[in-house]
Amino acid sequence: MNDMTTFDVEKIRRDFPIFEEKIHGKRLTFLDSGASAQKPQVVLDAVKSAYAETYANVHRGVHYLSQKSTELYEGARETVRAHLNAESLDEVIFTKNTTEAINLVAQSYGLMALKPGDEIILSYLEHHSNIVPWQLIAERMGATVKAVPINQDGEFLMEEFEKLLSEKTKIVAVTHVSNAIGTIVPVKEIIAKAHDKGVPVLIDGSQAVPHMQVDVQDLDADFYVFTGHKLFAPTGIGVLYGKNKWLEQMPPYQGGGDMINRVTFEKTTYATGHSKFEAGTPPIVQAIGLGTAINYVNEIGFDKIGAHEQSLLAYATEEIRKLNNVRIIGDAPHKAAIVSFTMDGIHPHDIGTIIDQAGVAVRVGHHCAQPLMDFYDVPSTVRASFAMYNNRDDVDALVDAMQMVQRFFA
Amino acid sequence: MMDDLKSLYQEVILDHSKSPRNFGKIEPHTTEGHGDNPLCGDQVTLYVNVDDAGIITDISFEGKGCAISTASTSLLTQLVKGKSKGEATELFGQFQDMVTSSPEDTNRSEAPDELKVLAGVKQFPMRVKCATLSWHALKAALENKAALATSE
Ligand SMILES: Cc1ncc(COP(=O)(O)O)c(C=O)c1O
């Protein structure tokens, strides 16, 4: 399948119809893939075909279309399983997004495992969706949430983590890549250290899966979650990978159709495997779109995607550093292609509005990571996040637009 | 493109954002109001003195914000000082009508010229909240029981 010996970013750009659009009459410089990625034509086609040619509910009919739809939907599960190198299909649960996957684990595992006085360890790099679900269950169960600090460069402090790990720790939940500043967190080491103490680990892979190959068995992750829309797939689909040994013990998260074995008013028995956690009609078409997106990125190959993005990151960092009065937030040696910055005396919101007029789309704000913003003592930053379809012209357009902002406020 | 931007970031706005008026905390104050913009994390606190007749005798603010929100707050403080609570509420209504595309009350009179410099915000729907944040904070302050607000 892999016939691309070199990485051709222009060819990839042509696969994404959005790049034909003009924004305020300008070329689109899309540097907001960290919030949500654009969709390639193959994904749009798969979505259309799933509705126009094969649509029916899954797992519920004996007729042709239901069977066809079920095959495609379950085929997407196999694509996800193979992509993550999960041991079995039962370990791949489809959710709405990362947020739902984390809430599922927090509520279900939390209900089963937490007692008053227990502790949950997170880090300062977390997205709100890997903080708030834990606070909710902690409050309910009388447990406490602890956060591993970082250094000024934005690196996870392993020694501090080891200090926090104790018999009270019942779960560790950390991000693989920081959405706000790009730090790649050494999750394999974190998992090994937690396992030494018998503590399971959830990894929030939302920002990792678009940039790198993930092998859940190699990491030995207990739970690994991500959201499809950042991986060039439709919205409304996410994945929870969980080791069977945990999923088997965990109580259902939501009740409804498809998650049962037999229902009577006296007692209901639950389905096993992933079905136990998939109540109701699932996001069928979105899952099919996710499968297609995964096949698409794998045809290109993460070795090439990673190399391309790292060279863009280096170029962007170098060019932004040349500007006066600009501060890059987060300077970890291992970073995904995300550059967060502030400009002296100019608020990120104003920067975002002004550079938008030049067709440059970035995220401005706290990036749902307020504890991290507090750590750096900034209310918000500008974040340029790169994906495989970005090129050096995008970096140049960003830097030009930043200079325009400086002239504007001069 | 520059035209829309120039109408949003008029000289007056840039000036007020760089050197905001009535910045700081007046002590004592009879009431205060807080505004949070969850979108960007910006915060503003207004400190207000209202006399027995319901007149805003003094007002100041603290907080971090973008050029639009800082300028809007600065202009607000200048404008409402000396006004009654009712007049301030009326100004809020006029301001909202001006920056949102569908005015609530078409019979209401137009916003005064001092506020019209912010009319460009209307072209930038994502920024309307920045402009109205401090007005919401003012409303909160004026609805506050004075004793409650100052006791914290
Ligand atoms: C690191 C991280 N975790 C979680 C999320 C939440 O993803 P979603 O909103 O799709 O649930 C995001 C993205 O917004 C993210 O970047």
| Predicted local confidence at residue B37, as pLDDT | 83
Q: Is A108 a catalytic residue?
A: no
| B2-142 fold | Sufe protein. Chain: A (3.90.1010)
> H or E element: which one contains A306?
helix A302-321
Residue A340: closest CA among A409, A398, A408, A389: A398
User: Residue B12 in contact with residue B71, Cβ under 8 Å?
Assistant: yes
User: Residue B9 in contact with residue B126, Cβ under 8 Å?
Assistant: no
CB contact under 8 Å between A357 and B66, yes or no, is no
What ipTM score was computed for the predicted complex, to two decimals? 0.82
pLDDT tens string A24-81: 999 999 999 999 999 999 999 999 999 999 999 998 778 999 999 999 999 999 999 9
Distance A68 CA to ligand 1 centre (A): 31
**Which residues of A are less than 8 Å from B127 in CB distance?**
349, 353
| A45-298 fold | Aspartate Aminotransferase; domain 2 (3.40.640)
Interface mutation vs chain B, best among A340, A342, A344, A347, most B CBs within 10 Å: A347
In DSSP terms, A30 is beta-bridged to: A361
Tell whether the model's pLDDT for residue B152 goes beyond 60: no
| Predicted local confidence at residue A2, as pLDDT | 47
Q: Which of A175, A368, A372 to mutate to test the pocket of ligand 1 (most atoms within 8 A of CB)?
A: A368
| CA A377/CA A279 separation, integer angstroms | 42
Which candidate in A279, A368, A369, A399 is catalytic?
A368
| Ligand 1 atom closest to residue A235's alpha carbon, by position in its atom list | 10
Tell whether the model's pLDDT for residue B35 goes beyond 80: yes
User: Residue A229 in contact with residue A253, Cβ under 8 Å?
Assistant: no
The ligand 1 site (C-beta within 6 Å) comprises A 97-99, 127, 129-130, 175, 179, 204, 206-207, 227
Would you tell me which residues 1-60 of chain B have a C-beta closer than 8 angstroms to some C-beta of chain A?
1-2, 4-5, 8-9, 14, 18, 39-43
| CA A199/CA A209 separation, integer angstroms | 24
pLDDT tens string B91-145: 999 999 999 867 666 677 888 888 999 999 988 888 899 999 999 999 999 987 4
pLDDT tens string B42-98: 889 999 999 999 999 999 999 988 999 999 999 999 999 999 999 999 999 999 999
| Domain with residues A4-30+301-409, CATH architecture | Alpha-Beta Complex (3.90)
Would you tell me which residues 106-135 of chain B have a C-beta closer than 8 angstroms to some C-beta of chain A?
124, 126-127, 130
pLDDT category of residue A5 using cuts at 50, 70 and 90: low
Angle, helices A348-356 vs A392-408, to 10°: value is: 120
Least confident of A264-273, A326-335, A340-349: A264-273
CB contact under 8 Å between A353 and B127, yes or no, is yes
